[in-house]
Amino acid sequence: MTIFEKIIKGEIPCKKVLENDEFLAFYDINPKAPIHILAIPKVCVKDFDTADSMMLGRLSGFIQEVAKKVNIDKSGYRIISNIGSDGGQEVPHLHFHILGGGKLKWENLV
Ligand code: 5GP
């Protein structure tokens, strides 16, 4: 079981931002920006590449709600989904990083 499945089941605590029947958003334990939130589906999906496109559409709407809730929708933010080994994915459960709260840099990617 992945760490995110344990968070979904409540076996590991998280700092929750928003939740509905299908998705959960919580603060990343090791933030890379002033605001760093993870948005995940509650069902087990390995990554973006294997995810159902309809579900990804609903997850996009959920991410927009999260951005509004933490007041970064107007100032701007970045979403990232790491996929597989070259993508740097550590947790094999689909997640989007939502980063904001300050001017983000775009460098040192490789
Ligand atoms: P990945 O590298 O797979 O795209 O991102 C996994 C993210 O999960 C990392 O940013 C890491 O800090 C975060 N993370 C790992 N374990 C935990 C945890 O137990 N709680 C929270 N809130 N975040 C975690």
User: Does CATH number 3.30.428.10 belong to domain 3-100?
Assistant: yes
Give the separation between CA 31 and CA 50, rounded to whole angstroms.
Answer: 26
Q: What pLDDT does residue 53 have?
A: 98
Q: What is the DSSP letter of 33?
A: S
Give the separation between CA 46 and CA 105, rounded to whole angstroms.
Answer: 28
pLDDT of residue 109 exceeding 90: no
Going from the Cα of 81 to the center of ligand 1, the distance in angstroms, rounded, reads: 12
Q: What is the DSSP letter of 15?
A: -
Whole-prediction pTM:
0.98
Q: For the chain, what are the domain ranges?
A: 3-100
Mean pLDDT across the chain = 97
Smallest CA separation from ligand 1 atom 15, residue: 29
Q: What is the mean pLDDT of residues 76-89?
A: 98
Going from the Cα of 52 to the center of ligand 1, the distance in angstroms, rounded, reads: 22
